[in-house]
Amino acid sequence: MIINTPAYTVSDNIPLDENNEEFITAPAVYEPSEDTFLMLDVLELDLEQVISTRLSKTNKVVDSTAKCGPLLVVELGSGFGILTAAISKAFSDTLSSIAVGAHCIAIDMNPTACRKTIMTCKLNDVEVDAIRGDLLTWMRHPETSNVNNGSNKEVYGPIDILLFNPPYVRGPEGEQAPTPTVIDAKDKEANDRKLASIEDGAWLGGGPDGVDVLKRALHQAADLLSEYGVFYALMIDYNYNALVRDEMQARRDRTDQNIYHDDLNSVELTTFGSSPANRPLICTHILSRKVPGENLSVYRIYRPIDFN
Amino acid sequence: MKLLTHNLLSSKCLKGVKVGYPLRIVAKDVKISESEFNKEFVKKIIPKLDWKVFVNAAVQVRSTYDCTNVVTQEFNLYQSTTILTGFTKCLFFLFQIGHGNDLSDELIDDYEDDEEYLKKVHHLLMEVEIINGELICPETERVFPISSGIPNLLLNENEVS
């Protein structure tokens, strides 16, 4: 399967649509870079297989030729919207033989990024929705909605594919990542300060291991991924080391006798979500790349299929 | 923002909110765009929706909607038929939403084979887009603005539970 790099433009002078003449350019948006393209390569490498071996299981159909889906795709911190545009486009062409389609939602706390994402998607002729929000805090929880899936109350979340190229860098003094908050248009000075902090801190993953933001996302993802859903997350080497270290610490603290499915390429994570012990996640290494000064990897995080 | 996305939104993260679902819609500007009818997609998305929330959202968009605010999307500005297509789409919209009472609270049994019904669902889910308006938390009345089609669901630090 081929996932094409979508068209995008770094020029600021594009209105959102023909009815909107606004050219909002601040705060600046993180531009597509090596990490973005590594994520694209991972989708190309892994996604088709994940759809045919995992996501297609959700639709139990007699006819084995039936396509899977529709799938819900959510990208966190979408920035320019490259990943959302690429995956949305893939579903409308290369993946259309195995999936009926996908609904894509892009999230960013930066208002300019939300607009950029929509622009990039328009440029690639795909329709997505953008939401200004903080990770997955805006999403309905399985227990609060009434979904028509027969007698079984929905126990898993709705997200089939979650993408996150998080801010992953640690600050020299373990600085916190900027807190996403509403910007109140009335107080111009406070607004500018907040916008500047979003811009300045766009690379900060938070805490001594730069992993605070990713851990929050993991907590939410554990509850909101669908039964066979997958979460692709990019990490720098010390992010992953911190996750593994914390997992081992948690197991030691519990002094439990469980057998874990750890190996060289994957580790079982048992501390995320509202019922982590019943629903562990596996974090498997997919692809790494060395770029100047950084060793980046993308992991797929998912529930083991043979669980139960 | 499309109604398909609205079906997933909640304000549960607000302090003191128990369910926070569904968010009430006040639509000020609505855009109707054309999107290709994908029968399989619609058929299989229906079981994944909270149906009553979806039907109710469609009613709320209709009841707060004013004909003068329809922004029709033109695909080719150079075509002489532009005005005509805009007009037709506007009529189509009024027909679909203005008289769209036939999506009832209960999903019909044989929807999978009813192409007209599926097309109606497709239109409301994928083609009606709220451009400007508000989403309102059902428990606290906290307003989340929608502008340029993008809802802002960020909370202030003192609002988070």
The structure tokens 């084995």 sit at A64
Taking CA–CA distances from B43, the nearest residue in chain A reads: A70
- C-beta atoms of A147 and B71 within 8 A: no
Could you tell me if A28 and A199 are in contact, meaning their C-beta atoms sit under 8 angstroms apart? yes
Between A72, A138, A148, which is nearest B153 by CB?
Answer: A138
Q: Exposed/middle/buried for B80, CB within 10 Å: 0-12, 13-18, 19+?
A: exposed
For residue B99, what pLDDT is reported?
Answer: 43
Residue A213: pLDDT above 60? yes
Report the C-alpha gap between A276 and A219 in whole angstroms: 9
> Any chain B CB within 8 A of the CB of A130?
yes
Q: How many CB atoms lie within 10 A of CB B99?
A: 9
- Given the cut 0.90, state whether the ipTM is greater than it: no
Distance from CA of B141 to the nearest CA of A (A): 16
Mean pLDDT across A82-98: 93
Residue A269 φ/ψ region, left for φ over 0, alpha for ψ in the -120 to 50 degree band, beta for the rest: beta
Task: Give me A23's structure tokens.
Answer: 């050219």
Question: At B127, phi and psi to the nearest 5?
Answer: -105, -20
Give tens-digit pLDDT for B21-66.
999 999 999 999 889 999 999 999 999 999 999 999 999 998 765 4
Q: Note whether A137 contacts B13, CB cutoff 8 Å.
A: yes
What pLDDT, in 10s, does the model give residues A118-150? 999 999 999 999 999 999 999 998 877 777 554
The reported pLDDT for the residue numbered B54 is: 96
Among positive and negative, which fits the CA dihedral A240, A225, A221, A110? positive
Q: B75 at the A interface (CB within 8 A)?
A: no
pLDDT one-digit tens code per residue, A43-69: 999 999 999 888 888 655 545 567 887
pLDDT value, residue B78: 41
The closest CB to that of B52, out of A131, A146, A158, belongs to: A146
Phi-psi region at A77: left, alpha or beta (left = phi > 0; alpha = psi -120 to 50): left
> To 10 degrees, the CA torsion angle through A48, A49, A50, A54?
120
pLDDT at residue A199 in the model: 79
**Is A276 part of the contact surface with chain B (CB cutoff 8 Å)?**
no
Q: Supply the DSSP string of A280-293, one letter for each residue.
A: -EEEEEEEEEEETT
User: What confidence score (pLDDT) does residue B94 get?
Assistant: 54
The predicted pLDDT at position B85 comes to 53
Element (H, E) at B27: strand B24-32
pLDDT band at B157 (very low <50, low <70, confident <90, very high): confident
Distance from CA of A150 to the nearest CA of B (A): 8
Whether A16 has a pLDDT exceeding 80, the answer reads no
Indicate which of A58, A114, A126, A129 best probes the interface with B, i.e. most B CBs within 10 Å of its own CB. A129
What is the number of other CB atoms lying within 10 angstroms of the CB of residue A119?
21
The angle at the Cα of A156, spanning B120 to A68, to the nearest 5 degrees, equals 55
Partners of residue A129 in chain B, C-beta under 8 Å = 1-2, 4-5, 149
Question: At residue B75, what is the residue type?
Answer: F
Kindly state the percentage of chain A with pLDDT values over 70. Answer: 87
List, for residues B60-83, the tens digit of each pLDDT value.
Answer: 998 765 444 444 444 434 444 445
How far is CA A283 from each of CA A231, A255, B87, rounded to the nearest angstrom? Answer: 9, 22, 53
CA-based Rg of chain B, rounded to a whole angstrom? 17
Cβ within 8 Å, pair A131-B46:
no
Residue B72: beta bridge partners? Answer: B32
Q: How far is CA A294 from CA A89, A147, A236, B71, B88, in A?
A: 30, 44, 7, 47, 56
To the nearest whole number, what is the mean pLDDT of chain A? 86
> If you search the block for the tokens 């705060």, which residue do you land on?
A27
Residue pLDDT, tens place only, A141-182: 887 777 755 445 558 899 999 999 999 999 888 888 887 777
Sign of CA dihedral A93, A99, A100, A101: negative
Does the pLDDT of residue A253 top 90, yes or no? yes
* B108 contact A CB<8A: no
What are the backbone angles phi and psi of residue A163, rounded to the nearest 5°? -120, 135
User: Using the 8-state DSSP alphabet, how is residue B111 labeled?
Assistant: G
- Single-letter amino acid code for the residue at B33: S
B147 touches chain A (CB under 8 A): no
| Torsion angle, alpha carbons of A180, B30, B70, B104, to 10 | -170
Residue among A171, A160, A155 nearest A51 (CA): A160
Determine contact: B46 vs chain A, CB below 8 A.
yes
